[in-house]
Amino acid sequence: MFLAVIDIFKGADVLLYPLALCSLVLVFILVERGYALRRSAILPDDLVDAIVAGRPISGGQHSVLSRIVAFAEQHPADPDAVKAFARLELVRMERGLPYLDVIYAGAPLIGLTGTVWSLIRVFSSISGETGLPDPVKFTSGVSLALSATVLGLVIAVPALFGGGILQRRVDKYAAQLDVLLERILARKPAN
């Protein structure tokens, strides 16, 4: 099994490097965004409860919602500025997610390029005298040529699923923030 995996990496040839880069970026974005988009960093329960209940706002320090609340308190007469600030916070939450789209579209194309590259080499090894390939080398060459596509797909599938899950999480937070923002803007400023 281990030797088969090594053969797959060898079959990807020089395009293994961009595929490896894609996979490293993928893992980094999934881990970093997964951590950054945890509920306590966006909508801490104590702060949400205080806003919904109309109590004095406290708790949830260093969260997205606390930054929006602080901005709203600094600009009580400008609801449009508060809404714009909330949109900027949403953009910050989406940071990195478009790169997952690039990875899930690009990794299979890089893999396909590697496959075509390897198939060209396999077919160019056909004997000019007989017009026939060595059957063992030919079948093993075709098998190795497909390995780059496999690697590209193995990278693309987690990028697709991870990007979709993280985007749905951001969309859910955006809807919740929108409702909370209305509550924040409806509060009377303390004199």
Tokens of 75: 């600009």
Which pTM value belongs to this model?
0.83
Quickly state the pLDDT bin for 94 (edges 50, 70, 90). Answer: very high
pLDDT at 5: 64
Give yes or no for residue 188 having a pLDDT over 70.
no
pLDDT at 163: 96
| b/e code 88-117 from CB counts within 10 Å (16+ = b) | ebeeebeebbebbeebbebbbebbbebbee
Give yes or no for residue 191 having a pLDDT over 60.
no
Largest CA distance in the chain: 95
Mean pLDDT, all residues of the chain: 87
Give yes or no for residue 190 having a pLDDT over 60.
no
Give the integer Cα–Cα distance in Å for 43 and 39: 5
Residue 33 has a CB neighbour count (10 Å cut-off) of 24
Domain parsing of the chain, residue ranges? 2-186
Residue 64 has a CB neighbour count (10 Å cut-off) of 21
pLDDT at 22: 95
Tokens of 147: 């390995």
Query: pLDDT digits over 159-174, tens only?
Result: 999 999 999 999 999 9
Angle (nearest 5°) at CA 67 between 66 and 69: 60
Give the integer Cα–Cα distance in Å for 68 and 139: 61
**Percent of the chain beyond pLDDT 70?**
90
Give the integer Cα–Cα distance in Å for 59 and 45: 9
pLDDT at 148: 84
**What's the average model confidence in pLDDT over 11-36?**
90
Give the integer Cα–Cα distance in Å for 111 and 129: 32
**Mean pLDDT highest for which of 8-12, 50-54, 100-104, 135-139?**
100-104
| Sole residue written with tokens 């806003």 | 51
**What's the average model confidence in pLDDT over 27-52?**
94
Which three-class secondary structure string do you get for 82-109? HHHHHHHHHHHHCCCHHHHHHHHHHHHH
Best CA proximity match to 182, nearest among 31, 68, 29: 68
**What's the average model confidence in pLDDT over 88-93?**
96
Radius of gyration of the chain (CA): 26
**Helix, strand or coil for residue 143?**
helix
